[in-house]
Amino acid sequence: MKIQTAEFVTSVGLGSRLPVAHVPQIAFVGRSNVGKSTLINALAHRKIARAGGAPGTTRLLNVYRLQLAKHRGALLLIDLPGYGYARGGEAANHGFDRLTRRYFQPDPHETPDRPGRTAPAGAILLVDARHPGLATDCDAVAWLSELRLPMVVAATKVDRLKASARRAALKAHELALGRTVLPISAKLGDGLPAFWTALLELAGL
């Protein structure tokens, strides 16, 4: 996919609001270290997200904007804090931190026309190809399904597996999550064309 411009827009903490944007938002969700930042950089064709940070240290929601090839529109990628390193009282919330839950389940008094929030068009859930069936990933699918948010699941880092192991892992992921799982490697580019197709469909572009 041709990208005209790609940029980091802002980081948002619990106390602040998302910028208002009139382009579709896609939320990126997954365990810490699953390869979210690396994938965002691969989609953008440049380094806009900080990859390889210490697991669990990013407790902010990072917003990136991609301007696609001419006439294809624009897209906001919302990079949510990685889960799986829940601390304190977070364990009872499927490992999702307050920021993530607030993003998906805004204050019921907040109406869509009030500034500060546009609902996501869909979510991308990333799972590590090498670790099928993790309880936290199954919880994430269940939670996002409950929200009735359109979702695409992709298994990252498939380059770490040989072809036969790759197929077996994919089957195991699909069985555990009860959904189609797209195999991708942000490092080598495997599966990214199919991933882009799914992403654009999710965004309604």
C-alpha dist (Å) from residue 21 to 24, 45, 69, 116:
8, 22, 19, 9
Task: Name which of 25 and 156 has its Cβ closer to ligand GDP.
Answer: 156
Taking CB under 6 A as the binding criterion, the range among 11-19, 45-53, 68-76, 103-111 that sits at the site for ligand GDP is 45-53
φ/ψ of residue 125, rounded to 5: -100, 125
Task: Name which of 52 and 89 has its Cβ closer to ligand GDP.
Answer: 52
CA 201 from chain center: how many Å? 15
CA distance 88 to 91: 7
CA distance 202 to 28: 12
Question: Which member of 12, 26, 62, 82 binds ligand GDP (CB under 6 A)?
Answer: 82
Strands 74-79 and 61-68: antiparallel
Question: Which member of 156, 170, 191, 195 binds ligand GDP (CB under 6 A)?
Answer: 156
Is residue 51 a contact residue for ligand GDP (CB under 6 A)? yes
Binding to ligand GDP, residues 168-197 (CB under 6 A): 185-187
Binding residues for ligand GDP, rule: CB under 6 A, are: 30, 32-38, 51-53, 82, 156-157, 159-160, 185-187
